[in-house]
Structure 1
Amino acid sequence: MSVAGTNYARDDGVTGISSDILRAVCERAQVQCQQILRFPWQRVYQQTLDDADYGLFSTARTAEREGLFKWVGPIASNEWVLFSKGDSSIQLNSLDDARRYRIGGYKGDAKTQFLLDRGLEVQTALRDSENVKKLERGQIDLWMTSNQAGRFVARQKGLEDLRVVQKLQNALDSLRAEGALRSIEARY
């Protein structure tokens, strides 16, 4: 999003479900919050780590990030998916099947890191909207994103014909079976 040629938006210019929820929370808590949407994500993430006067929303709460922030949430659920173009013939039975395809992700994003941690190659973009263009042009075969936000970003860029190829259900099921999710679930 840009305002008057800049690479950020402020307060009323920041829109969406997470920003609306945050406004309601700040109002109820009687805390003055200024919302600023900036890019690239990695810079904003680092600024939040470096400066105690900054907060970050929305970001995935992962085991690696747990000790880095004081958390409030969750404010939304986030279903991670791999999208392909609607006319794609790609079929995945497991996350491992995705290894043979070109995958696009968002630099510094937990979903992208999830794939990298499992040894998958991911082409990273500074803005997730760049992956929509790459998918349309055939520069990537799969786009790692969240279901709701990904569809929203794609619609904004004029791409409506998407297909969910893999919902990472196998990965979720295996993490749950290993007990790796118990500590996360216990916090909520």
Structure 2
Amino acid sequence: MAIITRLSRLLRADLNAMLDRLEAPELVLAQAVREMEQAQALEQARLRRLEQEAARNEQRQAEIEQRLAQHQDALEDCLAAGQDDLARAVLRRKLEAERALARLNQSADENNRARTQCQARLSEQDNRLNDLRARAAVFETDASNIGGEDVDFASAASDSPPIRDADIEIALLQAKRQQEAAA
């Protein structure tokens, strides 16, 4: 039995030594660096997409805020003229714009969180990549001495309930109260 155990141990040792020689550690390290660079390129592309989406959201927010100001002016004109029917229509558009702005703000918050996470992953990947490159450089110098790594946020728009007539009536009463308080 002892001879079989010793032979078995000898064969495993020879097999492991042969596999170590076939594995070529410098090639494994070079492949790991390439894979890390690819992962980092993908993460950078994702970050660019998130930044573009943030810019589009900011532009949309500015447009909606401008429309809100126009609706407020129109509402004040309608209330001053005693045109409640027109005021209701303006209030509907104003409420829709306010809801759209709220959705965009929520989308912007989600985008900011995603960008922060993406930047953290990029930083971590950069550190690991630098570490792998340093290991590869050390290995290469040793070898030369011896032998010479997308929110849609538009989906949030479908979550909003429709504006009801009761919402418009409440907004009309509030606008009248604000106008009376201002007068």
TM-score for the superposition, normalised by structure 1: 0.20
Query: Which structure shows the bigger proportion of residues in strand conformation?
Result: 1
Larger Rg computed on CA atoms? 2
Higher helix share: 2
